[in-house]
């Protein structure tokens, strides 16, 4: 069962990365500056389970989705350490409210992601059933039953996430960003419409997160500097930091990362800048620390 949970975590995390970058590219190219969202987009059906090995596993493991960029917070499971209550029969709603009222920055960010995941839980459940139906190996039938039981439990927990509870997402993200939760600023900014002003605290949190190694914060600052009110000097700095990071990180030169490189255009390399070097080192260090 634990293997399936980890597989679902990776699936949701990687899919989020792909869809988030796609959304950024589309909006930068067509609709103007808009930050990509790191919260889960509608979850596509999970792929068919892999061929059965000689010795059947305890639970089925869906095939992995190609990774674009790791998400800093895991959307399919609570953080290892949390001050929020355990989830009981009352579902996620009490925990979400507690995170806003009394929880830490990490709790608030996790609660916001719970809201986003619950919006798409029905589609996720359908994806699990589709993967189960596509698996013709009877030796994995018992494992699929455990998987389905787990995702249906999540579905029941999400039933208490009413529209009123869902409306707490932005206050939760603001609390998380103000108090240092890495990645919350980018998620908050992505939740804004193009007509809404970006709070100054969110802009500062984006800069802080980029300096702490958050890839999506750096990507956002590099791709849409006007949206964040950056001057040309700062905009050029973030673009150069992104280019240098991409040159040292092959994953950022693939797929939508390559498209973003094209959108940024070509500029003469900047002279040696301690700020650029610090940003690049933070990005690479964060990538090395990320679990895969």
Please classify residue 136 by burial: count the beta carbons closer than 10 Å to its beta carbon, then call 0-12 exposed, 13-18 middle and 19+ buried.
exposed
**What pLDDT is stored for residue 92 in this prediction?**
94
Dump the DSSP string for the chain: -HHHHHHHHHHHHHHHHHHHHHHHHHIIIII---PPP-SPPPPPPPPPPPPP-SS--SS--PPPPPPS---SS-TTS--SS--SPPP-TT-SHHHHHHHHHT--HHHHHHHHHHHHHHHTHHHHHHHHHHHHHH---GGGHHHHHHHHHHHHHHHHHHTT--HHHHTTHHHHHHHHHHTT-TTHHHHHHHHS-TTSPPPHHHHHHHHHHHHTT-HHHHHHHHH-GGGGT--HHHHHHHHHHHHHHHHH-GGGGSHHHHHHHHHH---PPPPP-HHHHHHHHHHHHHHHHS--
| Count of CB atoms situated within 10 Å of the CB of 47 | 15
pLDDT at 213: 93
Q: What is the pLDDT of residue 70?
A: 34
**Where exactly are the structural domains of the chain?**
2-169, 185-289
Q: What whole-number distance in Å separates Cα of residue 186 and Cα of residue 179?
A: 14
For residue 267, give both structure tokens: 């500029």
For the packed helices 2-26 and 215-223, what is the interaxial angle rounded to 10 degrees? Answer: 10
What pLDDT score was predicted for residue 108? 98
pLDDT value at position 261? 62
In order along its 292 residues, the chain shows pLDDT tens digits of: 444 444 444 444 433 433 343 344 333 333 333 333 344 433 333 434 434 333 434 434 433 333 333 333 333 444 344 555 567 667 999 999 999 999 999 999 999 999 999 999 999 999 999 999 999 898 999 999 999 999 999 999 999 999 999 999 999 999 999 999 999 999 999 888 888 999 999 999 999 999 999 988 998 898 889 999 999 999 999 988 988 888 888 776 665 555 666 666 666 666 668 999 999 999 999 888 876 5
Give me the half-sphere count of Cα atoms (radius 13 Å) on the Cβ side of residue 176.
Answer: 29
How big is the CA angle at 213 (ends 218 and 70), to the nearest 5 degrees?
Answer: 85
CA–CA dist 12, 118 (Å, integer): 12
Which of 82, 101, 98 is closest to 90 using CA atoms? 98
Token pair, residue 260, equals 């973003």
Task: Tell me how far apart the 2 most distant CA atoms of the chain are, in Å.
Answer: 62
Does this model's pTM top 0.75?
Answer: no
- Alpha-carbon gap, residue 150 to 143, rounded angstroms: 11
């Amino acid at each position: 069962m634990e293997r399936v949970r980890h597989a679902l975590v990776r699936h949701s995390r990687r899919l989020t990365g792909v869809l988030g970058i796609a959304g950024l590219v589309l909006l930068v190219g067509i609709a103007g500056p808009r930050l990509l969202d790191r919260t889960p987009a509608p979850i596509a059906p999970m792929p068919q389970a892999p061929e059965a090995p000689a010795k059947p596993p305890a639970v089925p493991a869906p095939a992995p989705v190609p990774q674009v960029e790791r998400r800093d917070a895991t959307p399919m499971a609570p953080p290892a350490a949390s001050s929020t209550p355990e989830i009981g029969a009352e579902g996620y709603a009490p925990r979400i409210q507690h995170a806003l009222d009394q929880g830490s920055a990490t709790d608030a960010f996790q609660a916001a992601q719970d809201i986003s995941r619950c919006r798409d839980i029905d589609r996720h459940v359908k994806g699990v059933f589709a993967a189960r139906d596509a698996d013709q190996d009877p030796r994995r039938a018992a494992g699929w039953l455990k998987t389905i039981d787990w995702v249906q439990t999540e579905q029941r927990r999400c039933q208490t996430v009413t529209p009123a509870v869902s409306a707490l997402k932005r206050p939760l993200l603001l609390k998380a960003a103000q108090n240092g939760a890495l990645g919350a600023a980018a998620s908050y900014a992505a939740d804004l419409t193009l007509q809404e002003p970006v709070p100054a605290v969110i802009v500062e949190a984006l800069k802080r997160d980029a300096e702490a190694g958050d890839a999506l914060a750096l990507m956002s600052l590099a791709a849409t500097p006007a949206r964040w009110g950056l001057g040309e000097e700062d905009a050029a700095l973030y673009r150069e930091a992104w280019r240098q990071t991409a040159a040292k990180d092959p994953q950022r030169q693939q797929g939508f990362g390559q498209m973003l490189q094209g959108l940024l255009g070509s500029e003469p390399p900047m002279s040696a800048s301690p700020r650029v070097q610090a940003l690049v080192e933070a990005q690479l260090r964060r990538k090395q620390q990320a679990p895969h």
